[in-house]
Structure formats: structure tokens, C-alpha cells
Amino acid sequence: MIVRKLSLVVSAFFTMAAFSQETASNFESKPEVKVTYLDSIKSTFKKNELASKVDSLWMNELVSLDIYEDLTKDIQTINKDVTVDEELPTELLKQRLAAMNEKSPFEIEYNQGLENIIKSFLKNRKKSFSRLMALSEYYFPIFEEAFAKQNVPLEIKYLAVVESALNPKAVSRMGATGLWQFMYGTGKQYALKIDSYIDERSDPLKATAACSEYMTKMYNIFGDWELVLASYNSGPGNVTKAIRRSGGKTKYWDIRNYLPKETQGYVPAFLATMYLFEYHKEHGINPERAVVKNFETDTVCVKNQMSFKQIADLLDMPQSQIQLLNPSYKMGVVPFYQGEQHFIRLPKDKVATFVSNEPQIYAYVKHDSEMKSTSSRLAVKYAPKAKPATAKPAAIENSDFEFYKVRKGDNLGAIASKYNVSTAELKKWNNLKTNSVAIGRNLKIKTDEETHVKSTSIIDKREEAIAAADEKSKPGAVDMDYVVTAGDNLGSIAKKFGTTIAELKELNNLTSNNIGLGKTLIISKAAIIIEEPATVTTAIASNSVDSFKKKAVSKNVGEDYYVKKGDSLYSISKKYPGVTISDIKKWNGIKDEDIKPGMKLKING
């Protein structure tokens, strides 16, 4: 009996010891999670359990220009006289067009040209119309509501398919913009705001209201909806010329051959589009799924300027979704103008979160903006690949001037900074009208003795700092990446970072100027970060390279990061100074950018 009790005690002792050891082990292995200011703000949010599910592939359709380019090319080049081999009996088509005509204010009648265009769309654009029908589920209710207010035929909604392929960001070669392709002057005429931050030609609600107003005015003039469409495409002046040249005829099909070539295919393309939407099932066109519908969204008034990124971080939603719902904001920023209201459209559950937590949201936006403002005031320069050449030509007209030969990657701001002069002075001395300057050009830089001493001292110290950094191994050098956002192109990115399109293409192995939304571009390889001195006199007095030390960059060696909901490789890389998306992929063997909440990532592991 005593032996049995003793054995139970020993067994219990070892069980408790094992449990304690396991508990301690689990406790030690639990990672220490750093809480950012953003996380602390979001932890106070009132949660809304309704999740916003948005198909990212479908969102991409709204910013893709491939359908727009295809349809535009079709309308401009389509030949009504070319017979297309596609299964659609002529008699059956006549019956369907007659049925459409009975319930429409448009005069829809069969002719061989219209049959050829319908068959051409069926043969070449079936897939495009499947995608367009998915987009129409979001946009058509907006159009119908606006047209109903002005007694405009609801069928006009199909015109947006012909004009822009339902892409609010579509821009024609002539500069016409938005779903309804308004030119700049026409947009201003109909009170659409167009400035650096906003282009309401891309606003679905306001642009559609303007389109509705235009259609009403033109109908009061022509009294015929086909002629209204023709005037929308080529202008009322061309329509009246065609009427005169036809001998006073006032039906579209009678004056069609007297209209501009593009307009001759414009109205038939509109009628062909209407036919395909009406009879898509009969032709095996299956609409793709539309996840977001207009009635599932709502607007909220924004009381302070904030960026799409700040909103996306706070509400745990992708920036692409905000761009999709708010195409009129050009810079990815909702501005704040005194005395004006600005609204942002969001999924209803996100609107609920925003409205329930406005004080915390504006507190974070203020904090984040102040941090960025402080960072932007730091004088950060990137080292050039080689020492700038500052040789004087043989004949110098004025001894007060030095000459600087513009190198690849230079810009006026950087050159002015090197010589401690202003950009305005550089432009004045060299008769420059803009900030653009050609590679290889010799710029005159005026220097009196005092300025010459200061600028030479600064340049020498900068060059010494760069040379000293180059001699060392470069573990502290920074590879600079940039994620492509909506509206970007290689030219704008090159200008933003003071580089050239050719350099960007070389660094990223690009064979063309096309870049995809969300693509990560390498901006510079191993760029050395230099801190500017507080003042010129301090730099001269120190007489040392210390004023231009290389900024230390920490990559948090050996740290683990656990992925949270809403994280992306881009947002994670920004949490660690000097760390790039490429670094994280390399350290963790990641080939794409697919990461999931709870996943452990090694930072410089």
C-alpha cells in the first residue's frame, strides 16, 4: 500500500515537472509582437462583423484598358460593307431588331451594315462583352437613375460601353476622359471640377448627370435620338453639315454617309451593343460575376485631407478597392478645400467602421501626416554613380561663371543643391523656361568668391563622403523599390525619383514602357543615403566628412514577423528601415506576394 502511494506521488511529480517544462517552453517560444501606433488606434475600433468580400480580379477589370482600346479601335476601323462569317440567320436578326424597336424610342431597323457589325462583335468580342456585363451590374443602376430624372431614354446607358468600355479612367488620344469621354472644355462647361487632385469627368455620378443634361439639350435641338448620339460623337456642327449636304434629310441613316468616318460606325456600334446585351443568352455570352454592386456601397464626408493608403490601413481594405470606388481622385488623396465637402465611397460595412471611429481615424491621419512632413524636411540625397564633371570650356566669356555638364539622372534641383544656389537662379543664368534640362548640356553657374568657396567646400565634402562609402563593403547601402499605383507610368515615376525611363527599364529588365498596377520596380541599386548639414557654415567650420556621414540603416537582423490581417509585403517592408520586398522574398523563399495572416516571416534571417 505504501509502495503504491509512493509510486503515485513520484508519477504526479514527474507529470507536473513535464507540464511545467512544456508551459515554460511554450511561453519562451511566443514571439514578442511590436505594437505600432496604427495597431493601437485600430485596437480601439468598434468592430463590425460584416466582412467586405471583393474579388481582386474583378476589381482589376475596372482599371484595365484593354477592352476600351479594343472597342475604340473597332469603332474607328469597322467596315459596314465587309460581310462577316458568323452564325446568325438574317431573318432571325430582323425579328429581334423589330422586337427591340417596339419598346425603344430609337428607330431600330435592319440594314446590312448593322448586321455586319453585330456579327463582327459576336465573332471577335464575345469575351469582352462577358466582362462588360459584369461591370454593367455596378454602373448601369447609376446611369438609369440619372437618365430617369431627365426623361432621357434608359438605353443611352449602352453608350458608355461604346465610349469608354465602362472604364472611368479611360483617356482618349485627344484627352477625352471618363465613362462619358468629356473633353476638358466640355467638362468645365457642365461644371465638372478638374484640378490637380480631382477630375470629376471620372466621377460616375457627376459625369452621368452632365451627360444627361447634354442629351436633353441636344434632343431639344434635333428631335431625334440617333442624331443626338451622332452629335455626341462628332459635335452638333458636323451633324448640321451632314443634314445640309444630304439635301435637308433629318434621319441618321439618310445622312450617315455625310458624317465623319468614325461617327458612321458610332451609332451602329451603339445599336449592336444594345442587341448583344438584350440577346446575350441566345448567343452563349455568360456574364462574369460582379461582386460589388452600387447598392452595397455608401458615401461618407471626409473632414480632413487623407490618402487612400491611410484609409486602406485603417479599414483593412486594399487601396485598389478604394481607387475602384473613387476614380475622380487623381492623386490617391481625398483633398480638403475650405468651404467645400468631399465624399469617399466605401462598402457599407467600412462606412459603418469609419463613422463609428472618426475621432481615432482623424487622430491617426494627423499623426501619420506629421510624421511624413517631418521626414520630407530631412535633406536626403542619393549618391551619383561617379563624380560629376565640372570642367570649363576652353573659352570662357565671363570669369564669374563655372560650367557643369549635365549627366544622366541629374535634375535642376540636385544641381542647384550641389552649388548652393536656387533652381530659379539656374534657370535665369541659362535662359531655361522649364525644369527640364538635356543630358550633355553645359550649364552656367555664377559664383563670386564667397559662394565659390562655400559650394566647392560642400561639393568636396560630399564627394569625400561618397568616396569613403564606396571604398567600404556596402552592407548599409539601400536598394530602393517602388510599387506601381493607379495613374503611374514610367515617365512620371522617373521624374518623381530624378532618374530616367531608360535607367528604370534597364534596372527592371523591361522591354517596353508598359507596367502593371501593383508591380514592384527597382528604382536604384545600392544608393547611399547622405545627410545634409544643418547649415553651410556648420559644414565649412567642421572641416570634416562627419557632416555628411552615411545614414545607418537597420535591417533588424534575425527578427521574426507574424503576418496580421490586412498586411502585404509592401506594408511589412515599410515597417523595417532599409528592408525591401525583394529582401523579404529572398529571406523566406517566397516567389509571389501571397501571404496569409499568422504566417511567420524572417527579417534578414
Q: Does residue 398 sit within a domain?
A: no
Q: Report d(CA 390, CA 447) in Å as an integer.
A: 13
Q: Which residues, including other chains, have CB under 8 Å from residue 515's CB and lie 6 or more apart? A: 484, 488, 489, 490, 521
- Do 169 and 318 share a domain, yes or no? no
276 backbone dihedrals φ, ψ, rounded to 5° = -65, -35
Q: Which of 241, 259, 283 is the last residue of a domain?
A: 283
Q: Report d(CA 197, CA 335) in Å as an integer.
A: 7
- Give the dihedral sign, CA 163/169/172/177: positive
Q: Does residue 435 sit within a domain?
A: no
Residue 410 CA from chain centroid, whole number: 26
DSSP string across 307-347: EHHHHHHHHT--HHHHHHH-TTBTTSEE---TT--EEEEEE
- Do 313 and 256 share a domain, yes or no? no
Q: Which domain holds residue 368?
A: 295-376
Chain position carrying cell 517602388: 482
| pLDDT top residue among 223 and 388 | 223
Q: Which of 376, 403, 435 is the last residue of a domain?
A: 376
Q: How confident is the model at residue 375 (pLDDT cuts 50, 70, 90)?
A: low
Domain harbouring 193, CATH code: 1.10.530.10
Write down the pLDDT at residue 456.
41
Worst-scoring range by mean pLDDT, 96-100, 168-172, 532-536, 551-555? 532-536
- Do 270 and 321 share a domain, yes or no? no
Domain harbouring 521, CATH code: 3.10.350.10
Give the residue among 47, 44, 38, 36 at the shortest CA–CA distance from 364.
38
- Do 265 and 359 share a domain, yes or no? no
| Count of other CB atoms within 10 angstroms of residue 243 | 19
Mean per-residue pLDDT over the chain, rounded: 74
Give residue-wise pLDDT tens across range 306-317.
999 899 888 888
**Has residue 53 got a pLDDT over 80?**
no
- Do 497 and 592 share a domain, yes or no? yes
Q: Does residue 167 sit within a domain?
A: yes
Give the residue among 558, 571, 574, 569 at the shortest CA–CA distance from 591.
569
- Do 155 and 251 share a domain, yes or no? yes
One-letter amino acid identity for 301? C
- Do 224 and 79 share a domain, yes or no? yes
- Do 224 and 313 share a domain, yes or no? no
Give the residue among 188, 187, 184 at the shortest CA–CA distance from 174.
184
- Do 234 and 138 share a domain, yes or no? yes
Q: Which of 342, 359, 376 is the last residue of a domain?
A: 376
Give residue-wise pLDDT tens across range 265-277.
889 899 999 999 9
**Has residue 16 got a pLDDT over 60?**
no
Give residue-wise pLDDT tens across range 345-370.
998 888 888 998 898 999 888 888 88
Write down the pLDDT at residue 483.
75
Task: Calculate what percentage of the chain has a pLDDT beyond 70.
Answer: 68
- Do 301 and 268 share a domain, yes or no? no
604 backbone dihedrals φ, ψ, rounded to 5° = 55, 40
pTM passes above 0.85: no
Give residue-wise pLDDT tens across range 435-444.
777 777 888 8
Specify the number of domains making up the chain: 3
Burial degree of 246 (CB within 10 A; 0-12, 13-18, 19+): middle
DSSP string across 360-380: HHHHHHHHHHHHHHHHHHS-E
- Give the dihedral sign, CA 307/313/315/318: positive
Q: Does residue 531 sit within a domain?
A: no
Q: Does residue 141 sit within a domain?
A: yes
Write down the pLDDT at residue 593.
67
**Has residue 516 got a pLDDT over 60?**
yes
- Do 269 and 311 share a domain, yes or no? no
Q: Does residue 238 sit within a domain?
A: yes
- Do 71 and 185 share a domain, yes or no? yes
